[in-house]
Amino acid sequence: MDDLLREFLTETSESLAVLDVELVKLEQNPNNPDLLGSIFRLVHTIKGTCGFIGLPRLESVAHAGENILGKLRDGALEVTPAAVSLILECLDRVRTIMTALEAAETEPAGEDGELIARLNALADGTGAPAPAAKAPEPEPKGSLFEQVGGLATIDAFIESLYMKVMADDRLKGFVADVNLDRLQAGQRDSLGMLLGGPSGGNEAALAAGHEWLVSPGMGAKDVAILDGYLNEAMTALEVPAKAITAIMHKLQQSRGLAGGNAPAPAAIVAPEPAAPEPTIAAPATKERKMTETKAKVEGENAEAKESAVAAQSIRVNVDLLENLMTTVSELVLTRNQVLQILRTKKDSDFAAPLQRLNHITSELQEGVMKTRMQPIGNAWAKLPRLVRDLAHELGKKIDLVMLGAETELDRQVLEMIKDPLTHMVRNSADHGLETPADRRATGKSETGKVTLNAYHEGGHIIIEIKDDGRGLPLDKIKAKVVQNGLATEAELTQMSVQQIQQYIFKAGFSTAAKVTSVSGRGVGMDVVRTNIERIGGTVEMRSVEGQGSTFVIKIPLTLAIVSALIVACGGERFAIPQISVLELVRVSPNSEHKVERIKSTPVLRLRDRLLPLVMLNDMMGLTSGAGVEATEHYIVVTQVGTHSFGIMVDRVFDTEEIVVKPVAPILRDIAMFAGNTILGDGSVIMILDPNGIAAASGQMNASGVGNAEVATQQGKSKQQRQSMLVFTAANDTPKAVPLALVARLEEIDVSQIERSNGQLVVQYRGQLMPLVPMAEDFKIRESGRQPMLVFSDRDRTMGLVVDRIVDIVECDLDVKLSSDRSGYLGTAVINGHATEIVDAGHFLTQAFGDWFGSAGESDFEIQNRRRLLLVDDSAFFRNLLAPLLSVAGYSVTTAESADKAMTLHESGDEFDVIISDIEMPGMNGFEFAETVKKSQRWRDTPMVALSSHASPRDIDRGRKAGFADYVAKFDRDGLLQALSETFTQLRGAA
Amino acid sequence: MTKNRKAAAASTEVEANDNHKDFVSMTIGGYLFGIPVLKVQDVLGQQRITRIPLAPPDVAGSLNLRGRIVTAVDVRIRLSLPPREKDEKAMSIVVEDGGELYSLLVDSVGEVLSLKSSEFEASPPTVDARWREFSDGIYRLNGKLLIVLNVARLLVFGNREAA
């Protein structure tokens, strides 16, 4: 791309971002002339640059916007929301054109006539948009014309000049009977030419005798007043003082010439003697001279300041900074190594210079980090506009308060935090804040407040997003949790308010009763959480119903270098990022703290609380040399979200600055590692990921981290990863079932198992739960406790009796299908063993013959026998989902590709809903949706996308392609809910 | 080592032939293997290797090679050979695959052999499937067979097979 164009694009997008913010500010303070001036200048610069590099379309749009702004600034128009909206629309058009420009390097074809017409209509009486089409020719650098800011500025100050003239009783008579618009256009163009600009073609206006602003009949006194006004007008437009002086000078000269060659104006209208009276003119000149001198001095000062600023900043390619950062990171590592060596050698000659090297490295590191630092306000720039648009759309009054916008953080972190932040603010404005009427009813002020606050705290950045809205509706969350089968009512009563609130971070969870265009349905907080955790941050939430919610995001200052605690366990060393370490506790049999056990689960009493413990050596599959109780241990108290837990390690060393390096691809699926690094002693060390540990140890069931991480990994690896529950039953062959299908794992005392009507049953949570053995000849235990997997669907539960629950394994599923045995989907390799994949649907029907049919009784009645087409290239998923959907009462047809599905279309099959995978060989899901939407008979059939990629961008793309909803692949509840919602909407629409 | 030297001697007879390819020879579990010499970045002696818990058994760990973290793959285990004894030392051959460095742990590294393509043939179909997958073919040397390892396939681990 042309350098000039690239520069233009960069600069203009920056300007546009500023404009968004300023316009919204303007709407709030319509009478702030500084703001208007700055907005005008920005738009003006955009327009001017467009003309300069030859972008006529962009220029005409910008010019129309500028016209209005000029009027607003001069007070000819009032700042109204409508005007601001229109200008914002104009800027959006500029942005659209720029996007296309960036891609194609030429202006896209298109017609902006309608928009420009509306803009001009608003600009009203001006009626002088004609010159807009004529792009000013490129100017020799430094010409007065350019210094002034081109024709637009001239236009603007001429206009404001005449405004003043019209307001002045002494002068208005001179221009009373002329067409002011034509006069202004003529004056503008002639002045433009005078200053070295291009010919504007309106010089004809001069023929009317109004030369160089002097109208026929004006005396010297009048001219002096006129010039004073001109000076004022130009100053208000921030024309450089030097340029003003020069312009005034040129005008004087031209008038002199004109006076010499042209007939005296006095000849036409002569109320006063034409001869200028020197006595009056002289003071005026003197006065002017004084202002000129003053202006000159100021101008010089201003210019000096400006150039000083310009000389102090340069643009540097981001890649260069990235490379620099990498190099410095390596230097830090090397420094650490050298210092480590130094520690072992006392009295070395190197000691002093190495200490110096140490300091310099630290300073260099700090310096380079600073180059990457950007104020967080950059990530907020779009928010005022967003909130404003939201407020208009939702009919709410929203006040966005942004504090600490100057807080700086690493630009990489900034980029990654941008989207989650936007999403959360949108959520607060949409879901959090009530409508003005509701607010009044609860005694709050009509205007809702969303506060963003950023500040540094202990090497981290804290960002708070606070609203004074309705808070999280606890009852609704509870109802939804139960409805989605995430927990039972009984379990909910055990939970703290905060634990229940955490459910909003679960995939597919949205409590907004109404789905608005603003907040996507169900997609949201889980993605936010995943994104924040990906950069090593945490997000917490506090909410009081009726008073509002506060989200607190804690993120590291930089991703590259982090401080980490080095611990040892089972003979290996690990690093734990300091950000997640709350405190360290030493435990030994005779110390104040000791590890107690509930069954085999270790816990620690810490300040009147029970802290669940995770044994790192168990998690890592390492063998600890000594017995747990025998020796002393250290507990690293860690916080992930609102959950704290202790990681039990053998030893704790010191903290060290480490550079996080990604692990090798073959190790990336081990969720417990965040990366690896090289320590001061030169050895490689693995960095633990507390989120991964929490997820792996089952801590985070309530908050959905586990699910989110699975989803992320799927997104990353593009593979179908699945958590499988591995167990044995009947024989030694391991068996597995997708964890998502299992409601609970239970161990039930065999004495409780009863026999009824030839079937094994057990009393379970106040109901009779039928038990189904894995095989006909399978014997339940004689005594003790019998493990079983509990499957649950609405009010029905069944237990699948197994021998032993082995493990939960996250793996890629490559199922070799074998259809000859009922109850099995096939065999896959899990953890290096051939494992049979169990068909849960088969056993469900064994427990309840009517499980499939039972759907008709409940709320699923309406969708009973709904015909559903499932398109997925993976045989495994077709086999997994088909029974699931049948259970939910759909009549399921499957197709292994979009082409196959279209064959069904051609053969005349009809469906009520289509569920489609996105990543498929051949025609992908998006293309499929587009094809369906264009087809004859299926175009009204709602479609639901099923994908492991559920980023907001994909979801957006899915919507555009025609999908009614977008569901993560393993979100069984989410899928059923999306289907049910889709039908509910259809019914609502019908 | 003597075996290696013999193999090297055998190859020198047909020097300066265009149909020659150069291989770094190595022994793993008593077998002679070769890797195209251009694939090899470094040959290292015994290294300090950090074990990685939860990693597949054929990943021996990570090591620090001049500031870069290199994943060590135990080729013995990869080839389903009995693991090395505790006191047996391993050597590392560092190769690059997909922008990542890997260190292949082998028993010993021999000389660079220049081998005639006329002595090359594909692995017989009766050879162990895993070995056949990881090898490009076999060179018939004087009294010894050299199995050519395919580094790229050797480094495809279970979770990447589908990709």
Which of A676, A677, A814 is opposite residue B162, by nearest beta carbon?
A814
Mark yes or no for CB contact B64/A684 under 8 Å. yes
CB A48 within 8 A of CB A42: no
Q: What is the pLDDT of residues B47-83, one digit of tens each?
A: 888 888 888 888 889 998 887 889 999 998 888 888 8
The reply to whether residue A718 touches residue B71, judged by beta carbons under 8 angstroms, is: no
Long-range contacts (CB closer than 8 Å, 24 or more residues apart) made by A366-371: A368/A321, A368/A324, A368/A325, A368/A328, A369/A325, A369/A410, A369/A557, A369/A558, A369/A560, A369/A561, A371/A316, A371/A321, A371/A324
* Residue of A574, A618, A666 to mutate for B, most B C-beta atoms under 10 A: A666
Q: What is the pLDDT of residue B93?
A: 93
Indicate if the alpha-carbon torsion angle A272, A276, A279, A280 is positive or negative.
Answer: positive
Is there a single domain that holds both residue A411 and residue A361? Answer: no
Instruction: Pick B67's closest partner by Cβ from A330, A676, A683.
Output: A330
Q: Mark which of A371, A391, A413 sits at the end of a domain.
A: A371
For residue B47, the chain A residue with the least C-alpha distance is A683
Residue A211's pLDDT is what? 63
Comparing C-alpha atoms, which of A961, A952, A883 is closest to residue A918? A961
Q: Is B162 on the interface with A (CB under 8 A)?
A: yes
Sign of CA dihedral A605, A611, A612, A616: negative
Locate the chain B residue with the closest alpha carbon to A671: B54
Q: Which of B48, B53, B71 lies nearest to residue A683, judging by beta carbons?
A: B48
Handedness of CA A197, A199, A201, A204 (dihedral sign): positive
Say yes or no: A584 and A706 in one domain. yes
Residue corresponding to tokens 């500031």 = B67
- How close A684 gets to chain B, by Cα (Å)? 6
Lookup result for tokens 């914002």 = A88
Q: For position A706, which CATH number holds? A: 2.40.50.180
CB contact under 8 A, B69 and A684: yes
Note whether A290 and A248 are within 8 A (CB). Answer: no
- Are B53 and A334 in contact (CB < 8 Å)? no
B52 interfacial to chain A (CB closer than 8 Å): yes
Single-letter code of the amino acid located at A786: Q
- Tell if the CB–CB gap between B157 and A683 is shorter than 8 Å: no
The H-or-E segment that residue A892 falls in is strand A890-895
> Is residue B145 within 8 Å of B32, Cβ to Cβ?
yes
A-chain residues within 8 Å CB-CB of B61?
Answer: 684
What are the chain A neighbours of B159 within 8 Å (beta carbons)?
666, 669, 717, 719, 811-812
Element (H, E) at A235: helix A220-236
Q: Is A766 left (phi over 0), alpha (psi -120 to 50) or beta?
A: left
- The closest of A417, A383, A380, A381 to A398, measured between CA atoms, is A383
| Residue A671 contacts residue A709 (beta carbons within 8 Å) | yes
Instruction: Determine, for residues A620 and B62 on separate chains, whether the beta-carbon distance falls below 8 Å.
Output: no
Is the domain of A160 the same as that of A250? yes
Contact A154, A188 (CB under 8 A): yes
Residue type, A115: L
Q: Which of B84, A113, A66 is nearest to B72 (CA)?
A: B84
Secondary structure E strands in A414-474: 447-457, 460-467
As given in the structure block, the two tokens for residue A780 are: 């339940």
The two tokens of residue A744 are: 């609970």
pLDDT digits (tens, 9 = 90+) for B139-161: 988 888 999 998 888 888 764 43
- The pair of three-digit structure tokens given for residue A150, joined into one six-digit string: 């081109």
Same domain, A548 and A466: yes
Contacting residues of B for A719, CB less than 8 Å apart? 159, 162-163
For residue A716, the chain B residue with the least C-alpha distance is B163
Residues of A in contact with B153 (CB under 8 A): none
Residue A137 pLDDT: 37
A595 plus A664 within the same structural domain? yes
Helix (H, G, I), strand (E, B) or coil at A30: coil
Chain centroid to Cα A933, Å, comes to: 29
Is the Cβ pair B54, A620 closer than 8 Å? Answer: yes
How many CB pairs below 8 A link A and B? 75
- Tokens for A864? 């009973």
Q: Nearest CB to B159: which of A661, A669, A682?
A: A669
CA distance B14 to chain A (A): 41
Q: Which pLDDT value is given to residue A34? A: 81
CB contact under 8 A, A684 and B54: no
Our CA-based measurement puts residue A664 at a distance from the nearest CA of chain B, in whole angstroms, of 7
Residues A428 and A523 in one domain: yes
Do A421 and A503 lie in one domain? The reply is yes
- A interface toward B at CB cutoff 8 Å? 330, 333-334, 570, 572-573, 620-622, 661, 664-667, 669-670, 672-673, 676-678, 682-686, 717-719, 811-812, 814, 829
Query: How far, in Å, CA of A264 to CA of A143, rounded?
Result: 31
> What is the domain-level CATH number for residue A956?
3.40.50.2300
Beta bridge partners of B92: B44, B105
A621 CB neighbours in chain B (<8 A) are 53-54
| Cβ–Cβ gap A812/B159 under 8 Å | yes
- What pLDDT does B148 receive? 92
Q: Which amino acid is at B127?
A: V
Tell me what pLDDT residue B94 has. Answer: 93
Contact of A933 with A912, CB cutoff 8 Å: no
- Measured between CA atoms, the residue of chain A closest to residue B163 is A719
CATH 2.60.40.10 fits B2-157, yes or no: no
Tell which phi-psi region holds residue A865, choosing left (phi > 0), alpha (psi between -120 and 50) or beta: left
Q: Based on the fold, state whether residues A156 and A167 are members of the same structural domain.
A: yes
* pTM summary value: 0.44
Cβ–Cβ < 8 Å for A739, A750 = no
Tell me if B102 and A664 make a contact (CB, 8 A cut-off): yes
Query: Rounded to whole angstroms, how far apart are CA atoms A472 and A549?
Result: 7
**Does B54 sit within 8 Å of A683, measured CB to CB?**
no
Task: Please indicate, yes or no, whether residues A736 and A674 belong to a single structural domain of this protein.
Answer: no
CA distance A720 to chain B (A): 10
CATH number at residue A16: 1.20.120.160
Whether complex ipTM tops 0.90: no
Q: What is the pLDDT of residue B72?
A: 92
A333 contacts in B (CB within 8 Å)?
67
Residue B65 C-alpha, separation from nearest chain A C-alpha, in angstroms: 9
State how many domains chain A has: 7
The range of the structural domain enclosing residue A902 comes to: 853-989
User: What is the reported pLDDT for B35?
Assistant: 92
Asked if A166 and A220 count as a contact pair (C-beta separation under 8 A), the reply is: no
Last residue within a domain, chosen from A812, A847, A882: A847
Residues of B in contact with A618 (CB under 8 A): none
At B15 the pLDDT is 43
Show residues of chain A in contact with B102, CB under 8 Å: 664
**CA within 13 Å, CB half, A788:** 29
Alpha-carbon distance A586 to nearest alpha carbon in chain B (angstroms): 24
Nearest 5°: CA angle at A813, between A808 and A816? Answer: 125
User: What value, to the nearest 5°, has the Cα angle with vertex A601 and ends A596 and A605?
Assistant: 35
CA–CA dist A463, A551 (Å, integer): 8
The CA distance from A562 to A332, in Å, is: 11
CB-CB neighbors (< 8 A) of A661 in chain B: 69
Counting Cβ atoms within 10 Å, is residue B45 exposed (0-12), middle (13-18) or buried (19+)?
A: exposed
The candidate with the shortest Cα–Cα distance to A737, out of A47, A261, A77, A729, is A729
Q: Which residues of chain A have pLDDT under 50?
A: 126-141, 204-205, 207, 258-300, 302-310, 513-523, 626-629, 700-720, 852-864, 990
> A327, A615, A679, A684: best mutation site toward chain B, by most B Cβ within 10 Å?
A684
Per-residue burial over A339-353, b if 16 or more Cβ lie within 10 Å, else e, is eeeeeeeeeeeeeee
Which of A129, A146, A180 delimits the end of a domain?
A: A129
- The whole-number pLDDT of residue B11 equals 44
Residue B69 in contact with partner chain A when CB distance is under 8 A? yes
CB contact under 8 A, B53 and A621: yes
Rounded to a whole number of angstroms, the distance between the first and last alpha carbons of chain B is 40
**H runs (alpha helix) in A263-410:** 278-312, 318-344, 351-371, 377-380, 383-394
**Looking at the complex, does the CB of residue B45 fall below 8 Å from at least one CB of chain A?**
no
Residues from chain A contacting residue B157 (CB–CB below 8 Å): 666
Task: Determine the number of helices (DSSP H) and then strands (DSSP E) in chain A.
Answer: 31, 35
Among chain B residues, CA nearest to A666:
B157
pLDDT at A262: 39
Contact map slice: B 93-132 vs A, CB within 8 A: 98, 100, 102
**Which of B63, B70, B154, B159 to mutate to probe the A interface, most A CBs <10 Å?**
B159
- Same domain for A71 and A147, yes or no, is no
